[in-house]
Amino acid sequence: MKQVYIADDPTEAHLVKGILEQYGISCEIRGESLWIARGQLPLTSETLPTIWIFDDNRFDEATELTERFQNGTLSSKAGANWKCPECGEEVEGQFTECWQCGANRPEETQIYESWAGGAIENAPLSQLSKSVMEEYLKSTEIIDWQDRGVLSKARELAVGADKATDIARSCFEWVRDEIKHIGDYDIQTVACSASEVLRAGSGICYAKSHLLAALLRANSIPAGICYQRLIRDDGRSFCLHGFNAVYLEKYGWYRIDPRGNKEGVNAQFTPPQEQLAFTVRLEGEANLPEIWTEPLGMIVERLRRYKTKDQLWNILPDIQII
């Protein structure tokens, strides 16, 4: 295997991975889990996400594609040639700018302009973005929607709903209201994967977001994981809070929080208006802009290591904001 690219962040890494795979170049991302520790580690080639190809014979081709991605001349392998509206030059379909005068391709949206980690807000999915979106539909070890129980519940929640938005609302409200938050109910069981949360009927915010992502993906709705950094009840320490983003064709990426409502917490599904469980208000708090395809490694590690809520509660994950 050979390294072909060092990305600035996980979002860019997944975009480049999607480009290479669209051209039939198999690859993987390494170092993504280190990104969350960027406030404690220096930003070097060892701590930034990197892309490695499996077939060394395609190294030159992969390098050329990544260079074209960097200079903004590559959007998608497929596509018809287009005529520049400024100078009339005919340009090949894979280019987004006219090589003669530099004008943008008509009605072309650069996929890497979005903050949302893999797709364009409020825009139809291009062929390239569909490749990226596949990452938000995968069944994985933690978001294991192919589990029989998860798949059955996903199908049940979709009954009677004709539109993706309605299915997404059904899944969101069920996880929010029916899966108990272990902090609110003093439940000691610590679940991690979607199937574990479903069987337990409870979970912390991270775990509930894993289940919601799985239910959405099982219904072919792209879904990812999001985080906020929030101050804890002691008023001194901070921790990460996990929730979701769902891709709805009419609205683009839309953030939803299935944590569970209580006094002072009122998360709703009202697209395009966002209504999360918590808002960032105090110094040190932050909305992390990434939409992750997988939960952060430090989250999974804590949920796997600590077996009871009391053990977990005082060491909830946190990051330093830089």
- What per-residue confidence (pLDDT) applies to 65? 87
What residue type is 19 in one-letter code?
I
Residue 72's pLDDT band, with cuts at 50, 70 and 90, is low
Residue 17's pLDDT band, with cuts at 50, 70 and 90, is confident
- H-helix or E-strand spanning residue 313: helix 309-313
Q: What is the CA radius of gyration of the chain?
A: 21
pLDDT tens, position by position, 137-154: 999 999 999 999 999 999
Question: pTM (2 decimals)?
Answer: 0.65
DSSP 102-126: -PBPTT---GGG-SSSSS-TTSPPP
Provide mean pLDDT across the span 96-115.
Answer: 46
Q: Quick check: helix, strand or coil at residue 241?
A: strand
Closest CA to 12 of 118, 148, 140, 139: 118
From CA 54, how far away is CA 31, in angstroms rounded?
16
Domain ranges of the chain: 2-122, 148-313
- H-helix or E-strand spanning residue 227: strand 223-231
From CA 251, how far away is CA 168, in angstroms rounded?
13
Of the two residues 149 and 252, the one the predictor is more confident about is: 149
- What per-residue confidence (pLDDT) applies to 124? 41
Closest CA to 218 of 284, 130, 312, 155: 155
The chain-wide mean pLDDT, for the chain, equals: 82
Residue 207's pLDDT band, with cuts at 50, 70 and 90, is very high
- What per-residue confidence (pLDDT) applies to 322? 65
- What per-residue confidence (pLDDT) applies to 115? 28
Residue 126's pLDDT band, with cuts at 50, 70 and 90, is very low
Topology classification of domain 148-313: C8orf32 fold (3.10.620)
pLDDT at 7 over 60: yes
pLDDT tens, position by position, 259-311: 999 999 999 999 999 999 999 999 999 999 889 999 998 999 999 999 999 99
